[in-house]
Amino acid sequence: MVISFRPKLFDTLSGYGRGHFTQDFSAGITVGVLALPLAMAFAIASGMSPTAGIWTAIVAGFLIAMLGGSKVQIGGPTGAFIPIIYAIVADYGVQNLLIATMMSGVMLFAMGAFRLGNMIRFIPVSVVIGFTNGIAIVIFISQIKDFLGLSIEKMPGEFFGKMEALLGAAHTIHLPTVAVSVASLVVLLTWNRVATRVAWMRRLPGPLAVLLIATATNAVVQFPIDTIGSRFGGIPQQVPPFGLPALSLGTLGKLIAPALTIALLGAIESLLSARVADNQIDDRHDPNQELMAQGIANVAAPLFGGFAATGAIARTATNIRSGGHTPVAGIIHALVLLAVVLALAPLASHIPLATLSAIVVVVSVNMGEWHAFAWKELMRYSRQYRIILLGTFFVTVVFDLTLAVELGMVLASLFFIYRMSDLTRVERIALEEYYGVEALSRPDGTPRILAYRVFGSLFFGAANKLENLMLMQDGHPDALILDMEKVINIDTTGLDMLQALHRALEKRGAQLILCDLNAQPASIVQRSGFGETIGREHLAGNITDALLRAQRCGGRDAEVSYA
């Protein structure tokens, strides 16, 4: 297999000039300053240090832009990863999280190399909405501790443990923290709303604006609240040491499932983000190249202390609105983050954790498609859709994202099988009515030739539709014709049922004739050898030809007359 590796950057450099660079430079600065508070907030919410979030955005953001399959994709840590990362850190520790992230990177690269990018789109929208809204709820719950300033030494990773810990610590609400959280929330929501009408405010993203206001205020007033400096000791003003995380072969096998979860969510979110971007810039991304870039980024980020990264929908949309139209904007965004860390890292010590919590709360509310849960909206769709959406949502919130996606896919597959089985049917053809055939019956009135038209797909979920023909409830004919013109597909189980029908007829001295086979059914009949088994004379081009062949079955001399 030849791996096709061609980053989108190569396609955009031809004819690239000063004007393009000016637009990309402006967009890169805008997205870079937006990414700073989000990277820190997502990292802290995930149980990691803000430094890890920033370096994830720098390293992964640079590689995703430079090697990706989208012109405008911005990569980095995202809110969707929060419950997954937090659970892995709680269960396995930070070092094993880094290993799981690198393993997910290898998986992502393999998915792109084997050209599986388009298969991600096979995940039903009901599953996507279910786990997206579920993740939003999990993120919201994870922020209650810092938003209210609760005294909880370590938050459990699973739902019931979290709820028990939160309820048990409800009496420890810290009023100064609540005041800063609420004030930050109000400022952020107000800024976002007013910025739609005031041009200069649009140049400063809401999360960065509230971060600057809260940090400056706290530096002057010195609120008695937790800050990045008090909890994490600040952000180092240097490049972190490059090195492999400590590897324990004993836990490597246990990390396969978490790594697969990171890979699947990263693939889904990055390709969803790229597809949304395509609609805005009238372009088409390369999903396989994008997955390979995501894979490389997730292998590289842990080498600098970073963790899982993917395409970020909000930052990608900001990049587009700011004028970015080539991967250069994404590269500049990473370099802006690097410059900020190296120049202004000491100032981060005054950033209130309550403000970062408020930012994440707004992100969690905005990421959910809550209108999908409205009663009128749910009733517009089938019961199967509602079961999949609500089931995926419930399992995501209460149990685990991996289990939720698995459950959603299994339910979607089962309902699809049921639906396809329901659409597959077998109907008797009234030969006397259509062809005026007098010789189709014996003197005693029993049918000598029977014909049926099959509709749909003869697959493992619908193969039993031929069982009634094997019971010969309509009599014991000399020949049975199956009109397959409306059959779009036959799998091996469907083929096995045809073979069983042929054997049942042969025991009674009767013949099976297939007519009007489409390309796929004809191919499997020939490749399996079944065509040779029943004989080429029993494969007809149409129902008329099949009747003529049925008339000759068993050396019969009766003639067929057509009206």
Question: In the prediction, which pLDDT does 486 show?
Answer: 92
Question: In the prediction, which pLDDT does 135 show?
Answer: 85
Mean pLDDT of the 398-418 span: 86
Question: Between β-strands 511-515 and 539-540, what pairing exists: parallel, antiparallel or unpaired?
Answer: parallel
Reported as a single tens digit per residue, the pLDDT across 527-563 is 999 989 988 889 998 888 888 888 776 444 444 433 3
Region of 351 (left: φ > 0; alpha: ψ -120 to 50; beta: rest) is: beta
Most confident of 2-6, 27-31, 52-56, 238-242: 52-56
Reported as a single tens digit per residue, the pLDDT across 237-271 is 888 888 888 777 777 888 998 999 899 889 988 98
Q: Does residue 78 carry a pLDDT above 70?
A: yes
Residue 455 is classified by DSSP as E
* Alpha-carbon gap, residue 560 to 293, rounded angstroms: 67
Among residues 143, 126, 212, which one has the least CA distance to residue 181? 143
Task: Calculate the average pLDDT of the chain.
Answer: 87
| Residue 227, φ and ψ in degrees, nearest 5 | -130, 175
Kindly state the tokens that stand for 227.
């800050």
* Alpha-carbon gap, residue 479 to 498, rounded angstroms: 14
Beta strands in 269-313 (DSSP E): 310-311
Q: Does residue 288 carry a pLDDT above 90?
A: yes
Question: In the prediction, which pLDDT does 471 show?
Answer: 67
Q: Which residues contact 238 (CB under 8 A, 6 or more apart)?
A: 342
DSSP string, 369-386: -GGGGSHHHHHTS-HHHH
In our burial notation (b when 16+ CB lie closer than 10 A, e otherwise), range 237-246 reads eeebeeeebe
DSSP string, 1-32: -------HHHHHSTT--HHHHHHHHHHHHHHH
pLDDT interval class at 132 (50, 70, 90): confident
- Type of residue at 394: F
* Alpha-carbon gap, residue 42 to 53, rounded angstroms: 7
* Alpha-carbon gap, residue 505 to 442, rounded angstroms: 18
* Alpha-carbon gap, residue 308 to 298, rounded angstroms: 6
Question: In the prediction, which pLDDT does 243 show?
Answer: 83
Mean pLDDT of the 92-108 span: 94
Q: Does residue 9 carry a pLDDT above 60?
A: yes
- Axis-axis angle for helices 159-168, 383-398 (nearest 10): 60
Strand ordering across the sheet containing 449-458: 425-428, 449-458, 479-490, 511-515, 539-540
For 359, how many CA atoms within 13 A lie in the half-sphere containing its CB?
29
* 364 or 58, greater pLDDT: 58
Region of 78 (left: φ > 0; alpha: ψ -120 to 50; beta: rest) is: beta
Helix (H), strand (E) at residue 353: helix 353-367
Question: Between β-strands 75-76 and 310-311, what pairing exists: parallel, antiparallel or unpaired?
Answer: antiparallel
Question: In the prediction, which pLDDT does 440 show?
Answer: 63
Q: Does residue 468 carry a pLDDT above 90?
A: no
* 306 or 245, greater pLDDT: 306
Q: What's the CA angle centered on 143, arms 313 and 125, to 5 degrees?
A: 40
* 305 or 196, greater pLDDT: 305
Other Cβ atoms within 10 Å of 12 Cβ, number: 16
Question: In the prediction, which pLDDT does 428 show?
Answer: 87
Mean pLDDT of the 32-49 span: 89
DSSP string, 169-238: TGGG--HHHHHHHHHHHHHHHHHHHHTTT-HHHHTS-HHHHHHHHHHHHHHHH--SS-BHHHHH----SS
- Type of residue at 30: T
Residue with tokens 């399996």: 528
